[in-house]
Structure 1
Amino acid sequence: MLTKEFVDKVKELGYETEFENNISPTIRISNDGGTLGRAFCILNLIDTYSFTPIKLKQIMREYEDTPIDEREEKNITLFEIPLFSLKTSDGYQQYLTYDEEKGCYFASRGRSTLKQSFTIAELEKIPSYYRVLAKEIKDVNN
């Protein structure tokens, strides 16, 4: 199961996901009551609790059983859109950013926690006056 599919399935169940990167890239799953579990992106390891719902545990186990090298799409080209001449008050470059929950674009400094990289298919949905500013991100696939 791809990481993106895992996150989508968790969200379909009504839970929130948050990417953390303390020691190892991790996806924390929660609801209003707090943390329900964690999935480690580069390890075959999950962390659940006795109160973690069974359907959520099943999805987490499926992700855990997925070989690490099969969790991400291969040879994907990503683009970022620097908004030229638009910098923060402290001099940082701003990028076109997408809020998936609200379905809108905004400008923000570069942050790994925000949606600021886009596939070719996603670029096609971006207004053309921003699309022409797109730059390919190098070394995405390592």
Structure 2
Amino acid sequence: MGVNFVIALFGMAMDIALAIVTFKSKHLRENSTFVFIACESLSNGMLSYAGCVLFAIFVSGANFVDDQSCFYALAICVVGYGYSSLALPLMALDRLLAVLVPLWWVVFIVTGKGQASKKGEENLLVCFYNTSA
């Protein structure tokens, strides 16, 4: 039980440190991948909180924990689990769209299948492709 607590505490500290460094560093904030990783680590930190709660219940010597106390103690963990399981597919979808959508628009205009509605739109799309990929 104590080993789980130490691992959970170390994991929470590293997850929070990663999020703080990412949000404080201007260079890391510019890239959306690092922001997604920081948000994912925060959700994993909330999920690791369960190890601390279980250790606190073990140390307190309580044989029975009523429902209301259990809900308040583990609500953060449940939210962290939900966010963590939702954040990973959303990150994958975002990265997929960042690669596919700019490529599709660049190919669509460069091949001549589409007409640019405004002069200079081709340059804008090529610049968008170069900065986001």
Q: Does TM, normalized by the shorter one, top 0.5? A: no
TM-score, normalised via structure 1 length: 0.23
- Higher helix share goes to which structure? 2
TM-score, normalised via structure 2 length: 0.24
| Bigger relative contact order (CA 8 A; separation at least 6) | 2
- Higher strand share goes to which structure? 1
